[in-house]
Structure 1
């Protein structure tokens, strides 16, 4: 008997390219067995999360807002945004996931630097799988090719596979039981 699929609510925040959201459904289902539900509500540009000194947006403020959109049946929520994100101890982040609140936010802002089309789509897919992996309980991986490796640059994303390495896959299977 197949496990019932966990539903991931995907929410546009600001103006990310709508096609990129649609492009996440298949890889998230394939790699992590998630059912993707694109939210009916899009959030506007998160001005409440803007930090004037950094000219960036604070992940945690956006994630707190995303949590309020979850409905019964949604196991987790991920915002996809076009704004540049930060957490206090980092110059920028490509995304952030919080296991406790089951929320994540992913930015295409830096991922789109110098690329478009298929390469951008792949970067966004890799990072979405990475963040969803955290929401499902996976930790960072040391293997630079594993989807769970901590990407510090968009080029790191290009090196990563779409799938977890064997160690992370085994861990995932344990967590899914």
Structure 2
């Protein structure tokens, strides 16, 4: 019997409009075989996660909150926000995923820098597929063109393809068995 398709809930955290989230549905489905649904729930700007010393928002606090909006039948949640994110050991992150809590968060803040509308949309799609890949169990990839490569700056996003390399595709097939 085939396994039921995994469902990724896309949630706006703060400002991003639903149209931004809807533009992530097809790439995630095409690349990872995961169905995405845009949540009707919109979370407010995550003031609870703000670190005034850094002037940024802590990913883990946002992911803990996101994990509470998952409903039966939904496998994972990806929040999209416009606030600048951090984890303690890094000056900033574009996004973060946690397989245990089945949640991830992605920020537009740094992806916007130096990007026009099409470039921003593509960067968002690349990083959303990347984070969803982590939620499915994929690790970082060494191939700078693979969507699972760890992007540290916007140029890394621009270099990456919107698809998995052969190694990562094979790994995903193993994970889906």
Give your verdict on TM over 0.5.
Answer: yes
From the superposition, tell whether residues 111 and 17 of structure 1 become closer, same or farther in structure 2 (CA, over 3 Å).
farther
- Residue equivalent to 1:98: 98
Alignment of 1:20-39 (within 5 A): 20-39=20-39
Moved more, 148-157 or 112-121: 112-121
Q: CA deviation at 1:116?
A: 2.2
Is the aligned partner of 1:150 residue 2:156? Answer: no
Alignment of 1:13-162 (within 5 A): 13-162=13-162
TM-score (norm 2): 0.97
Q: What SS does the aligned partner of 1:24 have? A: helix
Q: CA deviation at 1:75?
A: 0.3
Q: What SS does the aligned partner of 1:79 have? A: strand
Query: CA separation in 1, counterparts of 2:38 and 2:21?
Result: 8
Question: Are the equivalent residues in 1 in contact too, given 2:18–2:38 (CA < 8 A)?
Answer: no
TM-score (norm 1): 0.97
- Show structure 2 runs of 5+ residues with no match: none
- Aligned residue pairs, count: 177
Runs of 4+ off more than 3 Å: none
Q: CA deviation at 1:18?
A: 3.1
For residues 6-49 of structure 1, what are the alpha-carbon distances to aligned partners after superposition, in whole Å with 9 as ceiling and x for unaligned? 10000000102432211001001100011111111100000000
Query: CA separation in 1, counterparts of 2:110 and 2:20?
Result: 14
Provide the aligned C-alpha RMSD in A. 1.0
Query: CA separation in 1, counterparts of 2:157 and 2:18?
Result: 21
